[in-house]
């Protein structure tokens, strides 16, 4: 469906070449100061035509707020917003009238609905993510203001070019061949944890690739240009950190925090993989090294000395940094001829014309941040509503001490 969230509810609409794309955001708290500029900044980071590493489709993606606020303050009513599709080129992809693009959504949409948009990717196009990015920017404004929550995503790999082990998430750190060697502790390096706790969007945006490591970014640029020149494409991964999230978010058992996060991330077009914390690497680390020991923090609460868990245990946030990585495939639309079949089954060759991203990860960064913000916002509203309902009850004095959190001394 086109709606995500329970209390902070985002519905997006629009296809790649229709008049506009946008969203209705229901459940935004009233009284939040909000301007189009708060939203535009992330839409501009997402927009196409930013560099020679992205599609040349040229859109300014200027947001128009339609409802839900007056005098720059939210009313608590649904916020409607839209962005006009200006650089529309219906029938840009004429070959695709005959051929479903291999690994794109043309064939499956037609099989499912029996009818599909006449040009571009229709609803499956990344234009749809404009509504998400706008909604995420609204959520972020609240999260930052009220909780100091910060969300920063960056590109961690393009093809086989990875961040160096010292700065990479655990699963990007190669393992040695010795299956008797349990010493994989370095995979969660202090440098990576420092990167997670300090990285900013300004730093990420210094690089066209959005990989905040100069040498790696340069190699990534070359890799993307090589794909582009070969009329081909290449995939990559985006790593994201969410800082200052309070403990207690997530709705076990089916809506565990990481399950909802994975749902949100895997709904982004071109995603193929999601992992949180140690991810697949965690399977190689013995419990004695993978466990995150507890320690008392300055405020008296418990924290952990390591963070293989990625800030989530039992599906509930524990107050540590939440970090996760998403895998994006190589975009399907390539101009290089490919042997395939037409809709009617006739074999042939497709060389897709039109404008394509040779690699989506630089543009996916703000989309990942937006979906992360929407998840945190929704889970916060749910947990706050539970806490507020419980706070109205008379205090219970009869429970055995093992059932409640002891006061720290």
Ligand X SMILES: Cc1cc2nc3c(=O)[nH]c(=O)nc-3n(C[C@H](O)[C@H](O)[C@H](O)COP(=O)(O)O)c2cc1C
Can 17 be counted among the known catalytic residues? yes
- Which of 367, 376 has the CB closer to ligand X? 367
269, 310, 319, 327: which one binds ligand X (CB under 6 A): 269
Contacts of 214 (CB under 8 A, 6+ apart): 207
Residue 59 makes contact with ligand X by CB under 6 A: no
- Confirm or reject binding of residue 17 to ligand X (CB under 6 A): no
- Cβ atoms of 141 and 25 within 8 Å: the answer is no
Which tokens go with 7?
Answer: 């209390």
Binding string, 303-342, against ligand X, x = CB under 6 A? Answer: --------------------------x-xxx---------
Q: Tell me if 237 contacts ligand X by CB under 6 A.
A: no
> CB under 6 A: which stretch of 77-85, 123-131, 138-146, 202-210 binds ligand X?
123-131
Judged by CB, which is closer to ligand X: 69, or 332? 332
Residue whose C-alpha is closest to residue 90's, from 28, 16, 183: 16
Cα separations (Å) of 336 from 10, 352, 354? 37, 7, 12
Q: Which of 96, 124, 171, 278 binds ligand X (CB under 6 A)?
A: 124
User: In the annotation, is 104 catalytic?
Assistant: yes
The region that residue 313 occupies, defined by phi over 0 for left and psi between -120 and 50 for alpha, beta otherwise, is beta
Q: How far is the CB of 252 from ligand X (least distance, A)?
A: 28
Q: What distances in angstroms separate CA 311 from CA 186, 250, 292, 349, one per listed residue?
A: 19, 11, 10, 48
* C-beta separation of 74 from 31 below 8 A: yes
For residues 319 and 331, which CB has a smaller minimum distance to ligand X in the complex? 331
Nearer to ligand X, 45 or 219 (CB): 45
DSSP state of 122: G
Regarding 85 and contact with ligand X (CB under 6 A), the answer is no
Residue of 68, 100, 120, 121 that binds ligand X (CB under 6 A): 121
Please give the Cα distance from 226 to 192 (Å, whole number).
29
Q: What number of residues does the chain have?
A: 409
Q: Is 91 helix (H, G, I), strand (E, B) or coil?
A: coil
The residue among 210 and 281 lying less far from ligand X, judged by its C-beta, is 210
The residues pairing with 24 across neighbouring beta strands, listed in sequence order, are 11, 80
Does 116 contact ligand X by CB under 6 A?
Answer: no
Is residue 158 within the footprint of ligand X (CB under 6 A)? no
- Among 407, 271, 377, 364, residue whose Cα is nearest residue 47: 364
Active site residues: 17, 104, 357
Residue numbers at the binding site for ligand X (CB under 6 A): 55, 104-105, 121, 124-126, 268-270, 329, 331-333, 356-357, 360, 363-364, 367
């Amino acid at each position: 469906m086109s709606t995500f969230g329970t209390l902070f509810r985002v519905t997006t609409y629009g296809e790649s070449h229709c008049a506009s794309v946008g969203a209705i955001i229901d459940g935004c708290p009233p009284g939040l100061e909000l301007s189009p500029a708060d939203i535009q900044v992330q839409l501009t980071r997402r927009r196409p035509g930013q560099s020679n590493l992205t599609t040349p489709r040229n859109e300014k993606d200027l947001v128009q707020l339609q409802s839900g606020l007056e005098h720059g303050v939210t009313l608590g009513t649904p916020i409607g917003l839209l962005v006009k599709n200006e650089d529309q080129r219906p029938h840009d992809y004429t070959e695709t009238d005959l051929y479903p693009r291999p690994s794109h959504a043309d064939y499956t949409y037609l099989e499912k609905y029996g009818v599909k948009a006449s040009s571009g990717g229709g609803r499956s196009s990344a234009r749809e993510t404009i509504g998400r990015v706008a909604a995420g920017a609204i959520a972020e404004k609240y999260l930052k203001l009220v909780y100091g929550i910060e969300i920063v995503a960056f590109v961690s790999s393009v093809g086989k070019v990875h961040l160096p082990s010292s700065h990479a998430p655990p699963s990007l750190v190669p393992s040695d061949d010795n299956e008797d060697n349990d010493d994989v502790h370095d995979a969660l390096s202090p440098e990576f944890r420092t990167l997670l706790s300090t990285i900013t969007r300004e730093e990420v945006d210094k690089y066209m690739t959005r990989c905040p490591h100069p040498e790696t970014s340069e190699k990534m640029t070359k890799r993307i240009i090589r794909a582009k020149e070969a009329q081909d494409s290449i995939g990559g991964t985006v790593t994201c950190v969410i800082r200052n999230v309070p403990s207690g978010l997530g709705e076990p058992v089916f809506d565990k925090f990481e399950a909802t996060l994975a749902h949100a991330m895997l709904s982004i077009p071109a995603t193929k993989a999601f992992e949180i914390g140690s991810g697949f690497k965690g399977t190689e680390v013995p419990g004695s090294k993978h466990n995150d020991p507890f320690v008392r923090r300055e405020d008296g609460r418990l924290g952990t000395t390591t963070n293989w868990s990625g800030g989530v245990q039992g599906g509930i946030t524990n107050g540590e940094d939440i970090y996760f990585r998403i895998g994006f495939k190589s975009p399907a639309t390539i101009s290089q001829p490919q042997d395939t079949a037409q809709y009617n089954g006739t074999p042939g060759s497709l060389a897709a014309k039109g404008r394509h991203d040779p690699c989506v990860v630089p543009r996916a960064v703000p989309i990942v941040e937006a979906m992360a913000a929407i998840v945190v916002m929704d889970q916060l509203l749910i947990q706050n509503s539970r806490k507020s309902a419980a706070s109205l009850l008379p205090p219970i004095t009869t429970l055995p001490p093992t059932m409640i959190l002891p006061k720290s001394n």
